Structure 1
Amino acid sequence: MKTKFNRSIHTNKMRLLGAVCLAVLTTSSCKKNFEDINTNPIGVSDKDLISDYNDLKFFFQQEQRAIINFSGGGDPNSYQLQQNLNADVFSGYFMAPNAFGGGGNNTNYFMKTGWNGEAFKVAYLNVMANVVKLKNNGIDQTYPSVWAVSQLIKVTAMSRLTDIYGPIPYSTVGLKTDNPYDNQKDIYTKFFAELDDAQAKINTFLSAGKPLPFKFNEFDLVYGGDFSAWMKYSNSLRLRLALRIVKVDEAKARLEAEKAMNPANGGLLSTAAENMSVKVVGAGFTNPLVYIASKWNDIRMGAAIESYLSGYADPRLPKYFDKATGKDVAGTYKGIRIGSDMSDRETYQGYSVINVSNGSSPSFSLNSPVQLMTAAEVHFLRAEAALRGWSAGGTAQGFYESGIKTSFEQWKAGDASSYIGNSTNKPSGYVDPRNTANNAAAMATVTVKWNEAASMEEKLEKIITQKWLAIFPEGLEAWSEFRRTGYPKLFPVVTNSSGGTIDTDIQIRRLPYPQNEYDTNAAELNKGIQLLGGQDNGGTRLWWDVKKGNF
């Protein structure tokens, strides 16, 4: 509800005041708050954690949930600010039907300070805090395989964070009393090294064949204690991060990608059953996107994804969304264009919500796991790698088509053959029956069927467009890939309220740093902005987001 949302914004702004000092976890002025927020209510000291497996489980699961910031008590306000009203909208997947902030907010590029800092706060307060707690308890030495999985979770979470802001404190978090910023190139280099270390530890554990002295399957909210599955995820994450940097360091990108795709290194995610999704378990925990969409009615289908799914007659459309119920749109699948005028709250409430009601088995419920990486995405990553001439273990067309098939299998959307072979259907234009000012011609003409004679650029557009459709509803990865490649082509914002800092056609590139960083860590923040190489606004490109061709 709107009133609940605004009240929660105020609360989170107050909490944000101590977030960055909490990030380092060592300054004396921050320790009391850190303990208040992050300590198990039953009380646990560093010396107790190793011997008390319940407490180890508590901190480990906190770290897993914090990737997407599950909230207890059925209140996913933090996720709403952290991702849903930012990346989920910027990616073209969603749009809010409400005029938050009096109509000026991130959905029309009037960047809200109270929203921009949430992802930053969560990463340090809820991810890094638990990583440091585990490290300080010697988990890396006592249970190196558990530490390896913790590292994979950390790289997942912090790669998401740096791809939101750019330079961030990373290499010395928990080791120093200040907050120095690392440039993104160094952060990515450290990510790859941490993946190497995690995989070596998992390999050693698997080779030894000795069980842990506790039921790790009860700790693990993703793969139920299956270390081989974590190895596949690690390789898949490496491949994702490798392609992210291809335009700024192609040699490094290829090296890391081919390491990930080498079967001798443990394999990759290949079937929908192997998707990286965090289970929703425990009293008070729910899927935050579902809660926001169905309980608060705060998010609806985006116009961009309507354009592609409807234009392609994509069988996944009814798997992703419910039919609209509002006047003039009832019975259709109807999205909202980013930056539309939301001054009348009721105008767009009846537009399509995610599939929580339609059909005998809706795709989403409050207990749905939170998806962070799919096997379909990995097939598309391999398709791009093959397109670039790297050793991918197959052809670009083969992986492209297997990516579509794997996505169809995941969503139980039927046989993908006719869809894969369609060379005529194209994305549709957007028509808003409530406001013709929002109408727009289709942004793309790309079809689904692979054409080996097409240009490299057209082939890449096909790959990224189908990947974008397959990884729904994970908006942060979708937004990152849009920024990297320019695909899929998305409708620009209707109203741009950025004051000229964000180009309407180029679209938003990042979130500004939190105000709290200016208030408490200004010297290091200013160094971080210098590393960013531009102004601290939504129009500044990240290190890997360079203005150059894809090939």
Structure 2
Amino acid sequence: MTKHISKIAVIALAAGIGFSSCTKDFDSINTNPDKATSASSEWLANNILTSITSKDISFNNNFRQPFTLGKYIGWTEKVSEYQYNKMVRVDFGRLLVLRDVEPMIKNATTAELKNTYEGFGHFIRAWQFFQTTMQVGDIPYSEAIQGATGMIKAKYDTQKDVFKGILKELDQADELLAKAVNFTGDFIYQGDVDKWRRLANSFQLYVLINLSKKTGDADLDVINKFKTVAARPLMRDYTDNFAVTYTASAGYCYPWSNTAAQLNSFLDYPVLSSYLLDPMKATADKRLFYMAEPSKAQIAAGKTASDYSAYLGIDPADELGVIVTNKNAGKSCAVNKRYEEMYNAEPVGLLNHWDIQFILAEATVRGWISGTDAQTYYANGIKSHMNFLAKYTPASYTHGMAMDATYINAFPATVALTGSADNQIKQIITQKYIAGFFQDADYNAWYENRRTGYPVFTLNTLTNQNTPASVFPLRWMYPQKELDYNAENITRSLADQFSGNDDPSLAMWLLK
């Protein structure tokens, strides 16, 4: 038997040598000297950007998931896990695109472009690692994305070290983009490096505000760092939003639209929550009419579509049967028809100018920065979002309550910041929450609630699917693939963070 195997092995080895010789000539003859043998920096930049924007903003049923977890809507098709706080296992798939960063930089054709793509690459890395650590806690960072070197079981860095790395990379992005040149492969800002630099700095403010519980950490020095970054170039208005704009082509339409180019079979299921509608009703905020359709029962009772009282919100914490009963009786609101009927209802931002203004307002209230009063930033955030809605919403979708410049400029004073610092932060987060409807698709609203407690969501122990039902969850669970293939490192990390329990109810370092 052994001789037989050996004989086969010898034959196979000989055949292999012969095939190698043949292949060498074949490759030489059939190689196109005019075809690139490596991907261009422009192509790689486009692929990376598509991955973290267009592909990250899901379509139809998946698009609504961040807004279900953020309690903007209730879902009436069936029990929705996120609506009732059941957290699932995530994956680290968003990190795979980072493999393209190094070749993108390496393949740059000039020294100036290398600086550009390197700065862009640092922003991309910071963005993807931030989104990943925000979901679970400690993650692979220093050894991540090194499979080509043989590093296939990356160690887990502490969340603190991950944040330190993210902040450093954003500093590097600012430095490099300050001396960069415009580039191709960018469908968000058309290669305008000034806008990319402003985004990198604005994003760093978002990272830092999420460290609001860590101001006592001398290594991070959050407050002084915030002051430094706030003095850099930042987003100037909503045209600087980190946003995807949509067209009338299949796969490129607005995520919730139902048009000839893109069908949406889930239109009937969402109903808007009281957390979104009630603050606008209480303050005569016309944005209500841009976001919602009136309650059918209220219209039947004689209310008009331009009447604030025609709009009824539901509590997503109620039992599904209660929500469905109210919906069937017309005692709830659907989303505004423009989101369904327009292929380009509005650009969807992952980070927006108004977000940054609200962050600056909060930082001012907290005493981190001075020179401009919090009300100014707060008002700028509200006006930025209102001007955005006015720009992209045809008057026919405003239920006769269109916002003009006079209304927009006057409105912020009617909801002016008042009272204690905590009350002012509550007001800021409330306005940020309103502006986040069908925006900030990376769970930003849920993260704000987790960090600040605002808006205050109902904890219904009868419907809460978290364990225990007496508390809200604070995180997702780690990927199954990590448990299967990187067990030693993830087990050590779970022991260090959560006494070995991959429990959604336990607070990660960021929240302690």
Matches within 5 A, 1:92-131: 92-99=71-78, 103=79, 105-111=81-87, 113=88, 116-117=89-90, 120-125=91-96, 127-131=97-101
Tell me the distance in 2 between the aligned counterparts of 1:238 and 1:289: 30
Aligned-residue offset at 1:182 = 1.7
2:347 pairs, out of 354, 361, 369, with 369
Work out whether 1:503 is the aligned partner of 2:478: no
Partner of 2:52: 67
Tell me the distance in 1 between the aligned counterparts of 2:134 and 2:357: 22
Matched-pair contact (CA < 8 Å) for 1:183–1:531: no
Change over 3 Å in CA distance of 1:378–1:96 after alignment to 2: same
What letter corresponds to residue 513 of structure 1 in structure 2? Y
Where 2:465 maps in the other structure, the secondary structure is: coil
Q: Report which stretch shifted further, 346-355 or 57-66.
A: 346-355
CA offset digits 1:129-176 (Å, max 9, x no partner): 443553675799762302322332332233122112212222222222
Count of residues in correspondence between the two structures: 440
CA offset digits 1:412-458 (Å, max 9, x no partner): 24323553233xxxxxxxxxxxxxxxxxxxxxxxxx2222xx21111
Q: Which structure's CA Rg is the greater one? A: 2
Change over 3 Å in CA distance of 1:98–1:280 after alignment to 2: same
TM-score between both structures, scaled by the size of structure 1: 0.70
Tell me the distance in 2 between the aligned counterparts of 1:479 and 1:465: 12
Instruction: In structure 1, list runs of 5 or more residues that go unmatched.
Output: 1-42, 423-447, 547-551
Aligned-residue offset at 1:377 = 1.4
Partner of 1:256: 225
Partner of 1:541: 507
CA offset digits 1:26-45 (Å, max 9, x no partner): xxxxxxxxxxxxxxxxx99x
Matched-pair contact (CA < 8 Å) for 2:227–2:368: yes
Change over 3 Å in CA distance of 1:140–1:314 after alignment to 2: farther
Matched-pair contact (CA < 8 Å) for 2:213–2:510: yes
CA offset digits 1:213-271 (Å, max 9, x no partner): xxx1xx21221111111111111111111111121234621122112111xx3x11131
Tell me the distance in 2 between the aligned counterparts of 1:139 and 1:501: 56
Where 2:509 maps in the other structure, the secondary structure is: coil
Matched-pair contact (CA < 8 Å) for 2:379–2:412: yes
Aligned-residue offset at 1:290 = 4.4
Where 1:355 maps in the other structure, the secondary structure is: coil
What letter corresponds to residue 436 of structure 2 in structure 1? I
Work out whether 1:90 is the aligned partner of 2:78: no
1:203 pairs, out of 159, 178, 184, with 178
Work out whether 1:525 is the aligned partner of 2:490: yes
Tell me the distance in 1 between the aligned counterparts of 2:480 and 2:237: 42
Q: Report which stretch shifted further, 313-322 or 181-190.
A: 313-322
Change over 3 Å in CA distance of 1:313–1:491 after alignment to 2: farther
Matched-pair contact (CA < 8 Å) for 1:128–1:154: yes
Partner of 1:22: none
Matched-pair contact (CA < 8 Å) for 2:201–2:234: yes
Matches within 5 A, 1:66-465: 66-68=51-53, 70=55, 76=59, 80=62, 84-85=64-65, 87-99=66-78, 103=79, 105-111=81-87, 113=88, 116-117=89-90, 120-125=91-96, 127-131=97-101, 134=104, 143-175=114-146, 176-206=151-181, 216=184, 219-250=185-216, 252-262=221-231, 265=232, 267-280=233-246, 284-290=251-257, 294-297=264-267, 298-325=269-296, 332-342=310-320, 348=327, 351-357=332-338, 365-366=343-344, 368-412=346-390, 413-414=403-404, 415-422=407-414, 448-451=415-418, 454-465=419-430
Partner of 2:435: 470
Tell me the distance in 1 between the aligned counterparts of 2:166 and 2:456: 30
What letter corresponds to residue 355 of structure 1 in structure 2? N
What letter corresponds to residue 202 of structure 1 in structure 2? L
Tell me the distance in 2 between the aligned counterparts of 1:231 and 1:164: 26
Matched-pair contact (CA < 8 Å) for 1:338–1:492: no
Partner of 2:449: 482
Change over 3 Å in CA distance of 1:169–1:286 after alignment to 2: farther
Tell me the distance in 1 between the aligned counterparts of 2:271 and 2:167: 36
Where 2:154 maps in the other structure, the secondary structure is: coil
TM-score between both structures, scaled by the size of structure 2: 0.75
Change over 3 Å in CA distance of 1:328–1:411 after alignment to 2: closer
CA offset digits 1:483-535 (Å, max 9, x no partner): 1111122233474353633534xx22111123332222222222232343353
Tell me the distance in 1 between the aligned counterparts of 2:352 and 2:372: 19
Identical positions, percent: 22
CA offset digits 1:59-100 (Å, max 9, x no partner): 32332232255289xx837x81xx743x3223222232221x
Aligned-residue offset at 1:392 = 4.4
